[in-house]
Amino acid sequence: CGADDYGMEEDLSLYSELRRENALPLRIFTYHDRQAQPPLPSGFGDGWAHYQGLKIYLDGSLGGRTAALSAPYADDRGEEGRLNWTDGKVLRLLREARERGVQTMLHAIGDRALDQALRCLGQVYEELGKPSLPDRINHVMVARPDQRRRLAELGVYCDIQPAFVPSDMNMAESRLGADRLPWAYSWKSLLDEGLVMAASSDAPVESVNPWESVAHLMERKGPQGVFRPGERLSLEEALPLFTSNPWKMVGLEGFSGRLEAGCAADVAVLDRDISQGGAQAVRGAKPRLVFAGGILTAGRPDDWPGMGL
């Protein structure tokens, strides 16, 4: 019942207009790749459409060999990828965001980009203290053990894309080689460091269906087999990445994402018990009824009696 939009120049007034017309079926949190004008603080909005923060793209993609690695690509020894910004530019953006009360999200796929993120965030935190709402790092696809520990020390939030594992497993081995492969897509290791994580689809790159992503976290399986099975998550570990954690990561812990008294009535009723049947049952789950703020936004009221509830 909620969605993050990353790196777009979204028109919040359009979302607000849809809300006034009762035509907005979910809550929207936007991250822009430029500072909002006029300046807005994180969380600005009406409970449904929010400006949430600034997204900074530190590097590119692993598939395109533009993700910044600390050593050359295994399949192209003349290429290490590239950083989009100098440390000075990143520091300026981070300081400006802090002055405006804006949360930042840093796109970091390669380990050299993650080094830059950790270095710059660490310097700003030393200067200004840690923010009340932690900053976010998106992707964290190649993370060395020392970097995972540093992420936990800084207390930053991490966004991951489970669907990348089956899509990228062959490509990742080609790009990174056997020695660096243990650094890739290490979701369980990140969780074990105590990091707060959320999962997203990166749509339209991958399917927007969240149940497919939950299943990918549980299986890590593609056509060529299971990719690093020790990094699989249980259903109980995976679900918070789609429910309670995203709300915590926008500063609204306890507002939604849980079935508790006092939380917003953002609820999906599924066609099955996903605790039974493993990842295959999770993958096939479909919503029968969806409520956003207590309003039925998908499904039919007369469907309720036939659900055996």
Which residues have CB under 8 Å from 248's CB, separation 6+? 196, 257
Q: For residue 226, what pLDDT is reported?
A: 95
* Token pair belonging to 49: 């459409």
Check residue 203 and give its pLDDT: 86
Residue 194: its pLDDT value, please? Answer: 98
The strand pair at 225-226 and 221-222 is best described as antiparallel
- Rounded Cα distance between 172 and 3, Å, is 28
Q: Give pLDDT tens digits for 215-237.
A: 999 999 988 899 999 999 999 99
> What local confidence, expressed as pLDDT, does residue 40 receive?
76
Q: How far apart are CA 202 and CA 6, in angstroms?
A: 9
C-alpha span between 32 and 39 (Å, rounded): 12
Q: Tokens for 54?
A: 């600034």
Residue 269: the pLDDT is 93
Q: CA separation (Å) from 201 to 18, 121, 198, 207, 210? A: 24, 25, 10, 6, 7
DSSP β-ladder status, 103-108 and 49-57: parallel
Q: What is the separation, in whole angstroms, between the first and last Cα of the chain?
A: 21
- pLDDT reported for residue 209: 94
User: Which structural domains are found in the chain, ordered by start?
Assistant: 2-307 (3.20.20.140)
**pLDDT, position 16:** 79
User: What are 222's strand-pairing partners?
Assistant: 225
Give the pLDDT score at 41. Answer: 77
| Burial class of residue 142 (count of CB atoms within 10 Å of its CB; 0-12, 13-18, 19+) | buried
Q: β-strands 157-160, 136-139: how paired?
A: parallel
Q: What is the pLDDT of residue 1?
A: 53
Q: Confirm if 159 and 197 have CB atoms less than 8 A apart.
A: yes
Cβ(38)–Cβ(12) below 8 Å: no
Q: So what's the pLDDT on residue 302?
A: 80
pLDDT for the residue 2: 55
Residue ranges, the chain, pLDDT below 70:
1-11, 36-39, 304-309
The span from the CA of 171 to the CA of 282, in Å, is: 26
